[in-house]
Amino acid sequence: MHIKVKYFGQIAEVTKSEEEVIEFSGCLISELLDVLYSKYPVLKNKDFQVAQNQELVTFKTEVSGNEIALLPPFAGG
C-alpha cells in the first residue's frame, strides 16, 4: 500500500523533504519505521513520536491509515 509520510523539524532535515509516499507491505508502525531507517539510517538516532491520521500512536500500532507523521520534540523558546 502507499502511505503518505510527513516529516517535521529535524526529521525533515534528515529526509530532506516534508512529505513523501512510501510503498509499504508490512503491518505495524515499527515495521514502517524499519523501512524508513533503512532509507535514512540517521533517523535511528533521532527522538520522535508517530501520528497516524492526525492521532499520536505507539510504534506497536497497526498501520491502518494513509497518512503518517514523524514528530520530533522542540526545545526552543
Partner 1 sequence: MSRYSRHIILSEIGQIGQDKLSNAKVLVVGAGGLGCPVLQYLAAAGIGTLGIIDFDVVEESNLHRQILFGTSNLGQNKANAAKTRLEDLNDTITINTYSYKLDYQNALELFNQYEIIVDGSDNFETRYLVNDACILTNKPLVFGAIYKFEGQVSVFNYQNGPSYRCLFPNPPKKDSVPNCSEIGVLGVLPGVIGSMQANEVLKIVLGIGKVLNGKLLCYNALTSQTSILKINKSETEISKVLKEQDSFHKKALLSNCGFESIEISINSILDNEKVQFIDVRELNELPKIENITITSIPLSELKNSIHKIDSEKKKVIFCQAGIRSKQAVSILNNLNISNCYSIKEGASEIIEIINNRHYTEGTNQAICSKQ
Which residue ranges make up the site for partner 1 (CB under 8 A)? 6, 8-10, 18, 45-47, 49, 51, 54-56, 69, 71-77
Q: Are 14 and 37 in contact (CB under 8 A)?
A: no
Residue among 28 and 71 whose Cβ is closer to partner 1: 71
At its nearest, how many Å lie between partner 1 and the CB of residue 43?
Answer: 12
| Beta carbons within 8 Å of 47's beta carbon, 6+ residues apart | 72, 73
Between CA 27 and CA 7 the distance in angstroms is 20
Residue among 9 and 26 whose Cβ is closer to partner 1: 9
At its nearest, how many Å lie between partner 1 and the CB of residue 24?
Answer: 20
Helix H or strand E encompassing 20: strand 19-23
Residue among 24 and 48 whose Cβ is closer to partner 1: 48
